[in-house]
Amino acid sequence: MTMVEQFTQGLCGIYSIEVGDKVYVGASKAIQARWSYHLLRMKNGTHDTPELIEAWKKHGGEGFTFKVLEIVGSETELPDKEYEWMKKLKANLLNRRNNFPNPREHIIVSHETKGRLQSMGMKSMEAAVKQLLDNS
């Protein structure tokens, strides 16, 4: 295992894959494992982002840059941080999972609803959603 692999193996955070002027931003609770997954999927032509497959065919591994953009302390931070980095870097390579705006920016919770959630012992909308999913 290389030094980079040892460093990134247990890291939870945001990363980018860059090739030419194209940027893909992703998030993972295990960055090294996710990078290996991307490599495998690009090599065998099954990646969710067709532009990455085409770039791999054209350049091979030499044309790609992989960067760890930010280490986060908790998995719960990943979706918001990923979206922030996508906006910041103007990510132009998207897959089926990350090609939509951040849904949290479109959820409006009234003060009344916040009060009801708190009275039920839930500190946040995320806690309410988690409880609903756990009970379904």
In order of start, what are the domains of the chain with their CATH numbers? Answer: 3-99 (3.40.1440.10), 101-136 (no CATH)
Q: What is the per-residue pLDDT across 3-39, written as a single tens digit (0 to 9) for each?
A: 555 555 578 999 999 998 889 999 999 898 888 999 9
Closest CA to 25 of 113, 65, 108, 85: 85
Q: Considering the entire predicted model, what is its pTM? A: 0.65
Tell whether the model's pLDDT for residue 44 goes beyond 80: yes
Encode burial over 84-120: b for 16+ CB neighbours within 10 A, e otherwise: ebbeebebebeeeebeeeeeeeeeeeeeeeeeebeee
